[in-house]
Amino acid sequence: MKILILGAGKMGSFFIDLLSFEHEVAVYERDPQRMRFTYNCQRFTQLEEIRGFKPELLINAVTLKYTIPVFEEVMPYLPQDCIISDISSVKTDLKEFYEKSGCRYVSTHPMFGPTFANLHQLSEENAIIISEGDYMGRIFFKDLYQKLGLNIYEYTFEEHDKTVAYSLSIPFVSTFVFAAVMKHQDAPGTTFKRHMKIAKGVLNEDDYLLQEILFNPYTHDQVAQIRTELKELLEIIDNKDAQGMKGYLTKIRENVKRDIEIKK
């Protein structure tokens, strides 16, 4: 299959490496410097080169802020039957865009990134395939993600955004709070160092991505739960309520235990 990848960033390069040995792959990137470490693929910096390549599948891997604008830029140069796709972690406005485009499309979300994941060992990582896309496009990505050993889930656009609001906004906000109150430690403990590593990774993400995740319409209710829990925990601390603390620890341990059992 002839596959065009938009963007030679971290995830774009990952998909180039992943696909280029079984497919004819090209990458479109306006900044030639970003393509200097790509190999086994054609490198395009001009839109007319896309027309000549005639891709059968397009994977949009640019920064979230530019996903739709770049789609709109390249679509006049694509064959009519080309399947367009994105791997965005936030799907806001994408459903409407796809439906208006008149193109075959597929939308997926590999729920991992180069910051934390071991890209050579992904058996504990997940991927979401949006069920509202083109059947053949969904089959392609399902087969690809199965080969990577990913756990695959199929959600609608709405279900996806609800899942992201929970799985990303809660850890992101928790990390923000930690980073906001932390102070330098000359001799940090193990737990502090682990939280610091997570904070550095999260804060290394694109500002627009963090903004869009937190501005997800389903995020507010998830973050409000943090406020409720903090209020309860603060009352236990202020009252030095040993029994209340024991009950609270039992509750949260049960939550963690339940999640582990579900994964099994």
Contacts of 71 (CB under 8 A, 6+ apart): 60, 84, 86, 97, 101
Q: Are 57 and 82 in contact (CB under 8 A)?
A: yes
DSSP of 214-233:
HTSTTHHHHHHHHHHHHHHH
- The pLDDT mean for the chain works out to 91
Residue with token string 């160092």:
193
Rounded-to-integer distance, Cα 81 and Cα 77, Å: 12
**Is 90 exceeded by the pLDDT of residue 261?**
no
Rounded-to-integer distance, Cα 224 and Cα 80, Å: 45
Q: Are 26 and 35 in contact (CB under 8 A)?
A: no
Q: Which of 26-35, 108-117, 232-241 has the highest mean pLDDT?
A: 232-241
Q: Can you give the pLDDT at residue 204?
A: 87
Q: Can you give the pLDDT at residue 116?
A: 47
Q: pLDDT digits over 82-125, tens only?
A: 999 999 988 989 999 999 999 999 999 998 865 545 556 777 88
What token pair was written down for 202? 């999260």
SS3 108: strand
Confidence of residue 211 (pLDDT cuts 50, 70, 90): confident
Rounded-to-integer distance, Cα 142 and Cα 213, Å: 25
Q: Are 179 and 201 in contact (CB under 8 A)?
A: no
Q: Can you give the pLDDT at residue 263?
A: 63
Rounded-to-integer distance, Cα 185 and Cα 87, Å: 38
Q: Which helix (H) or strand (E) holds 146?
A: helix 135-147
**Is 90 exceeded by the pLDDT of residue 52?**
yes
